[in-house]
Amino acid sequence: MKFRTLLRHFRESFKNIGRNGWMTFASVSAVTVTLTLVGVFLVLMMNLNHIAGNVEKDVEVRAHIDNAANKDDIKGIGKKITEMNGIQSVIFSPKDEELTNLIDDLGDNGDAFKPFEQDNPLRDVYIIKTKSPQDVIKVAKEIEGFDYIQSVKYGQGYVEKLFSFVNIARNIGIVLIVGLLFTAMFLISNTIKITIVARRKEIEIMRLVGATNTFIRWPFFLEGLWLGILGSIVPIGLISVLYYNLYKYAAPQITFKFIELLPASPFIYQVSAILIVLGAVIGIWGSLMSVRKFLKV
């Protein structure tokens, strides 16, 4: 293809947007609606994931070691834990340190424990983090079976509830994705159905006059690209403004420890980039779909 032909296709694709008037409008609207839904959903999902990640990060296993264990036993336990599957980090915390931490954590009330400094009732502890937080329960169960382990704590009950909440939230996310994809496909295929009649004649005539399939496809491809980008403008604007304000005004009101929104600054740009790419893909896909049927090959 000659360069001026490529220029011609660009020119033609811009002209088509104007020539096809309301069809352009219908396609852009379909993309706009779809992307608005996708965008809202994306913001929800990414924040949810962020919060879930925050919560999960704090989950750890604490293995308390029996006082009967000597130094070598303790080292042996540490080695065994390190060699288990899915372990991210193992930290040894001697009982003196545990007590100091406890006293610090309790602040003024901590003084009550001061007398115990001579005769520490606490145990040496291994603090274990797993690579996947969901492995915590399995790892805890396994360590329970080791020698010289007095008890294993990982927030029993609380952790199970947390995980089932996170799983449900993620499943809802998947259901939403699927639902959304169907909506998008429905909207776009409907728009294509409307445009197809007009386009069928157009393509037939182009082939009569000697246009190859590639030649016919190019302006359609570019037109789809422009339609997709046009369709992403409103959703991007809407979501950026809404999220920016949500982050600015609503987020400071939430003081729950783990619940924290993704900072507006990089997040809005990321979502915008995703939406513009999605718009382009949807536009190109829709446009090429509408020609494909009539390009006899």
Partner 1 sequence: MIEMIDVKKTYPNGVIAINGLNVKIKPGEFVYVVGPSGAGKSTFIKMMYREEKPTSGNILVNGLSLPSIRNSKVPLFRRNIGMVFQDFKLLQTFTAYENVAFAMEVIEKEPEEIKKRVMEVLDLVGIKHKARMLPSELSGGEQQRVAIARSIVNDPKVVIADEPTGNLDPETSWEIMNIFEEINKRGTTVVMATHNRDIVNNIKRRVIAIESGKIVRDEHRGDYGYEI
Which residues of the chain form contacts with partner 1 (CB under 8 A)?
1-2, 4-5, 8, 16, 19-20, 198, 201-202, 204-213, 215, 296-297
User: Which CB, 4 or 257, lies closer to partner 1?
Assistant: 4
Residue 110 Cα distances to 45, 98, 104, 107, 176, angstroms: 42, 13, 7, 5, 49
Q: Considering the complex, what minimum distance in angstroms separates the CB of residue 195 from partner 1?
A: 12
Residue 225 dihedral angles phi and psi, to the nearest 5°: -60, -50
State CA 229 to chain mean position distance: 23
Q: Considering the complex, what minimum distance in angstroms separates the CB of residue 184 from partner 1?
A: 27
- 20: nearest Cα among 207, 227, 218: 227
Q: Considering the complex, what minimum distance in angstroms separates the CB of residue 190 from partner 1?
A: 22
- 287: nearest Cα among 2, 4, 30: 30
User: Which CB, 45 or 211, lies closer to partner 1?
Assistant: 211
User: Which CB, 16 or 36, lies closer to partner 1?
Assistant: 16
- Token pair for residue 148? 């010289």
What is the spatial distance between Cα 152 and Cα 155, in angstroms, rounded to a whole number? 10
Q: Considering the complex, what minimum distance in angstroms separates the CB of residue 201 from partner 1?
A: 8
Q: Considering the complex, what minimum distance in angstroms separates the CB of residue 216 from partner 1?
A: 9
User: Which CB, 208 or 254, lies closer to partner 1?
Assistant: 208
Residue 20 dihedral angles phi and psi, to the nearest 5°: -90, 5
**What SS3 state is found at 170?**
helix
Q: Considering the complex, what minimum distance in angstroms separates the CB of residue 177 from partner 1?
A: 38
Q: Considering the complex, what minimum distance in angstroms separates the CB of residue 213 from partner 1?
A: 6
**Exposure letters 138-164 (e unless 16+ CB within 10 A, then b):** ebbebbeebebbeebebbeeebeebbe
User: Which CB, 126 or 218, lies closer to partner 1?
Assistant: 218
Per 3-state DSSP, the chain is made up of helix, strand and coil in percentages (nearest 5) of: 75, 10, 15
User: Which CB, 254 or 297, lies closer to partner 1?
Assistant: 297
What is the spatial distance between Cα 147 and Cα 249, in angstroms, rounded to a whole number? 53
User: Which CB, 19 or 114, lies closer to partner 1?
Assistant: 19
